[in-house]
Structure 1
């Protein structure tokens, strides 16, 4: 019972930190009502967060509110493979767009984000970034045939890419023919809004590019692979992406 109570309180404290991070200013009564706890419980939680070093500023007087001090940071980021790839892709796209507005603080953002990952993990993040390529926007013909991929397939493919594991896919070509392929998802290639997998295809025993939205099913395999020469794979993708 005590362990359950401790777990409930930890979850509540995390929720409270999230609310304080989202709000520029909130009263104790507002926070208590949103979390469904008494004002007394909320004040105890606030006191505990302060004891643990969270810089919570409070306004004095009747109806005063509270907020996190501006210097407070997120601390360590805990991201799964999907969140990591989404973050890396967003940064890579911002770099490729080349907008002065986007690039003004990008170097500092990259440095800070990299620093939040666990020690020894940053090399892996750099390797992943090198495997994400952003090309030109997709052609009109490609966009007209594009359908957003299923979340289930996207999650599994992202995991295979992240963990460098082979995956068996059922792939529907442009003519409607479906084939089963065992592939190694070597690189992700993005022609907005279409994602491609640049792979080693064991059926063809060669490099092949697949549109992610045409993958009808996917099955993760335990077999891992090594990343190949990016120049060879990217050259293949540049040739074939506009034709798929």
Structure 2
């Protein structure tokens, strides 16, 4: 058997992963013969794929059947850009909550998801957790005024938040008055179950705290902004016990 180099191994792993996902019947011996490597090499390849999160069952013995675990299906999910962004923000929220119930696999899930992003996107995602704050639950008075969020609007806000781009919005204040604003969404704050966005208001040239459910229209602009330090929003967080 010939000794495989790094490039050959990468190519072999990609092919092996695709073959396993396809559900084709295969054995360690047959795969080893196909790639002209030893059975031990294929076994090591299988372990690498397992370490990458692919749940593979491999029978011991001469036949060495290879297949995915019968209850596995998550790896076949294909996420679009919006879904991936929402999932990354959700993971960041769970990490900020610091609950042992949620922490078991979050790190490995985040690393696997980040592997699909470009270098620039990885840079933005890396600091995402620090831009989300979790506070206390809201009062019954605030809860009584909570409105349901528009799903499409939330997706657009998440996109602008992650990519650090300005938004033009229509915002309804406590009195019900609608105003047009151009904002930079710097931080998100959850006072369960109410979401707030800490923004720089271009028209008012000041920081503001806006309730997400009161944003009625949103248009993502092309203008990128540089992230302000959280200390710039101290006045917005006054009285809030945030993590």
* TM-score bucket (shorter structure): 0.5 to 0.7
2:107 to 106, 110, 132: 110
- The answer (yes or no) to whether the contact 1:185–1:197 under 8 Å persists in 2 is yes
Question: Which residue pairs with 1:47 in the alignment?
Answer: 24
RMSD of aligned C-alpha atoms? 3.8
Shifted more, 138-147 versus 112-121: the winner is: 112-121
Structure 1: 5+ residue stretches without partners: 1-13, 18-44, 59-65
- The answer (yes or no) to whether the contact 1:136–1:191 under 8 Å persists in 2 is yes
Question: Which residue pairs with 1:237 in the alignment?
Answer: 236
Compared CA separation, residues 137 and 127, structure 1 to 2 (3 A):
same
- 1:156-204 per-position Cα deviation (integer Å, ceiling 9, x unaligned): 1111111111101010000011110000001111111111110000111
- 1:59-113 per-position Cα deviation (integer Å, ceiling 9, x unaligned): xxxxxxx8527999949985624533444334434542x444444x25xx31452
Structure 2: 5+ residue stretches without partners: 1-17, 32-45, 47-53, 60-66
Alignment of structure 1 residues 70-85 onto 2, 5 Å: 74=75, 80-85=81-86
TM-score if structure 1 supplies the norm length?
Answer: 0.63
More helix by share: 1
- The answer (yes or no) to whether the contact 1:172–1:216 under 8 Å persists in 2 is yes
- The answer (yes or no) to whether the contact 1:57–1:68 under 8 Å persists in 2 is no
Question: Which residue pairs with 1:186 in the alignment?
Answer: 186
- The answer (yes or no) to whether the contact 1:77–1:116 under 8 Å persists in 2 is no
Compared CA separation, residues 48 and 204, structure 1 to 2 (3 A):
farther
Question: Which residue pairs with 1:146 in the alignment?
Answer: 146
TM-score if structure 2 supplies the norm length?
Answer: 0.63
Deviating beyond 6 angstroms after TM superposition, the runs of 4 or more aligned structure 1 residues are: 48-51, 69-73
Output the CA distance in 1 between the equivalents of 2:122 and 2:76.
15
Alignment of structure 1 residues 155-170 onto 2, 5 Å: 155-170=155-170
Compared CA separation, residues 99 and 163, structure 1 to 2 (3 A):
closer
Question: Which residue pairs with 2:124 in the alignment?
Answer: 124
Output the CA distance in 2 between the equivalents of 1:188 and 1:162.
11
Output the CA distance in 1 between the equivalents of 2:197 and 2:23.
47
Question: Which residue pairs with 1:172 in the alignment?
Answer: 172
Name the count of aligned residue pairs.
Answer: 188
